[in-house]
Amino acid sequence: QKEVEQNSGPLSVPEGAIASLNCTYSDRGSQSFFWYRQYSGKSPELIMFIYSNGDKEDGRFTAQLNKASQYVSLLIRDSQPSDSATYLCAVNIGNQFYFGTGTSLTVIP
Amino acid sequence: GAVVSQHPSWVICKSGTSVKIECRSLDFQATTMFWYRQFPKQSLMLMATSNEGSKATHEQGVEKDKFLINHASLTLSTLTVTSAHPEDSSFYICSARDPRDFYGYTFGSGTRLTVV
């Protein structure tokens, strides 16, 4: 059983729309949750992390965590073409990270 | 923020040779660094955890004698792919956590290895 699961997509949204990315995890001992953005051929870059139930907002990005249902999501408001990338969900358990396979997002101008 | 430098960014080597990849924390000391491998259209897979001054911990299925890790200082970890084969061609990425920031795991820029 995979620790972290994501819909691989591709997900396409028009420019200006809200993109919604979802992630589920299997280990209830998971402590913190991260969303990374990865452009093709590049290393992942951190967008946000969250460790408490509820919402966390940072600019156009909102992370949502529901520990009871074991899912974490990322909303991107006012999507821009530059947001087109693969979004990786990661879960921190102890000193280790477990990554999902990523969701490919395309924002159509 | 914390910066992790990885070198080289890409390398092509002949089958059977060895390749060394360096990972440096530029503005912090990292007692632990992580090495990942990413095949095309797949996620990052943890290969090994590098600990300064002690042996690295390799994940199950990752040969420690093939993927040698040295973490001789608090700012440098190296991954050496020995006797490389075409199936070792992949994107290798290191990561380190700035101890000043509990959630501050920073990735290096990655190394694209192609074995021909």
Angle at A105 between CA A49 and CA B44, to 5 degrees: 55
**What chain B residue is nearest to A44 in terms of C-alpha separation?**
B107
**What chain A residue is nearest to B104 in terms of C-alpha separation?**
A46
Q: What are the two backbone dihedrals, phi and then psi, of residue A90, each rounded to the nearest 5 degrees?
A: -135, 145
The 10s digit of each residue's pLDDT in B48-74 is 998 888 889 999 999 999 999 999 899
Report whether pLDDT(B32) > 70. yes
Report whether pLDDT(B91) > 90. yes
Give B-chain residues touching A43 at CB under 8 angstroms: 6, 93, 107-110
Q: What is the pLDDT of residue A97?
A: 80
Q: What are the two backbone dihedrals, phi and then psi, of residue B114, each rounded to the nearest 5 degrees?
A: -120, 120
- Distance separating alpha carbons of residues B93 and A44, to the nearest angstrom: 9
Q: Please list the pLDDT of chain A residue by residue as tens digits (109 residues).
A: 568 999 888 999 999 999 999 999 998 888 899 999 999 889 999 899 999 999 999 999 999 999 999 999 999 999 999 999 999 999 988 777 888 989 999 999 9
Task: Name which of A65, A61, A79 is nearest A30 in CA terms.
Answer: A65
